[in-house]
Amino acid sequence: MTHKRTTRLSRRQFLKAAGAAAGALAAGPVLSACGPAATTAAPTATASPPLKIGILLPYSDIYAALGESITAGMEMYFESVGNTAGGRKIELTKEDEGTKPDEALQKARKLVEQDKVDLVAGIVSSGVAAACRDFFDETQNVLIIANAGSNALTRAAKSKYIFRTSFTNWQPNWPLGTWAYENVGKKAMISVPDYGAGHDMEKAFMNSFQAAGGEVLGQQYTPFPNMGDPAPFITELANSGADFIYAFYSGGAAVTFVKAYGDFGLTGTLPFVCAGFAVEEDVLPAQGNAALGAKSGLHWALRLDNEVNKKFTADYKTRTSKDANVFAVQGYDTGRVIVEAINATQGNTGDKDKLIEAIAGVTFDGPRGAFKMDPNTHNVIQHIYIRDVQEVDGALHNVILKDVGEIADPGDDSKG
Ligand code: BEZ
């Protein structure tokens, strides 16, 4: 017969032990009695507090479909690992980003201060990302941007607390400018929405297009978020005398703009070159033949030939009954970055320096190929593809014309 030996603690000993346990909980989950595991494998979830992730994504206005795709991709990844990371159960608190920077900033504050999330992920609009930057930097809370491409956040306004799994607005457009000069035409007219992302994207495109010898005949800035009647803008483009049009639009605005381009008879007569979001798989079904022949630069394509992408696109279609798109990929990869980083810290989110080091060190093969963070800028380094909208098996898709290689943001404004 075995006897349990009980030990009575003095009041002082009890308070000391209770304080240590409370401290351990604030810094991370309670690990098993054997101590931390020697590898980065996730400890068991039993006694650990949930991992609270604040999701700030648009579920309304012109970027609502982007928010839905990013959410679906992220949830798909979390489900694939049993909704746990570092031994903690993943708990999501979602807020609607909308498109208004001030209102979105209040939602970010609420997630951190009221909901007490461990970190925030999301943000689609560059305007919102710029408005939230100081809050995360000053309060030393981690933000992982899953879309918004604002160049400044990787350059003069970068913060050690802010990461980006998506792209800078510069990345898909700078290689596209050179390619368009060599393959499409020498004179361009530009159309972009009048906010941060539109200006970043046109600047990147113009930088390399003009360096190659191209001429920009004019720039058209349309109201953001809603451009209103596209007719006057399309008419101006049709009468510009350009060899081709360069544009950036996304979500609802991309559908409005590209459909009007087709309705005015410009598809197939005035070549259309764009940042790939404008004709991405999320909008192609609504744009139809108006998008045919559009040439674009982007960091992914539906038929990108690698095993992870094949499985991801098949699983996404089963889950949503839709083809995958670049925003879903970004959500999926953001989920993986979070899980792998939290596994690496054994669930500890209290030590911000360790968490930041872990996020910066995450590398894997994802749907877009090799995924890695630039340790200097905290922005993803990735291949950029030149794509062409073609009919494939009875539907429109982006077909890869060229892999322009691995593109890292320069980290300053020297190249647009
Ligand atoms: C942006 O605001 O940074 C953005 C929005 C939609 C697609 C791409 C970029």
Residue with CA nearest ligand 1 atom 2: 125
**Cα(170) to centroid of ligand 1, in Å?**
11
Q: Please list the residue range(s) of the chain that carry CATH number 3.40.50.2300.
A: 9-168+306-382, 174-303+383-407
User: pLDDT, tens digit, for every residue of 32-74?
Assistant: 323 333 334 445 545 799 999 999 999 999 999 999 999 999 9
In this prediction, residue 29 has a pLDDT band, given cuts at 50, 70 and 90, of very low
pLDDT of residue 46: 53
Residue with CA nearest ligand 1 atom 5: 125
pLDDT of residue 45: 47
Does pLDDT of 4 surpass 70?
no
Most informative mutation of 126, 133, 200 for ligand 1 (most atoms within 8 A of CB): 126
**Cα(149) to centroid of ligand 1, in Å?**
6
Contact call for residues 415 and 400 (beta carbons, < 8 A):
no
CATH code, 9-168+306-382: 3.40.50.2300
Residue with CA nearest ligand 1 atom 6: 250
Per the confidence metrics, is the pTM higher than 0.85? yes
**Ligand 1 atom nearest residue 200's Cα:** 3
**Cα(168) to centroid of ligand 1, in Å?**
9
User: pLDDT, tens digit, for every residue of 301-330?
Assistant: 999 999 999 999 999 999 999 999 999 999
pLDDT of residue 21: 31
**Cα(132) to centroid of ligand 1, in Å?**
15
pLDDT of residue 383: 97
**Cα(222) to centroid of ligand 1, in Å?**
15
Q: What percent of the chain has pLDDT over 90?
A: 89
Query: How far apart, in whole angstroms, are the C-alpha atoms of residue 167 and residue 145?
Result: 9
Q: Which residues line ligand 1 (CB under 6 A)?
A: 124-126, 147-150, 169, 197, 250, 277
The encoded tokens of residue 253 equal 């605005």
pLDDT of residue 98: 97
Q: What is the mean pLDDT of residues 6-10?
A: 31
CATH code, 174-303+383-407: 3.40.50.2300
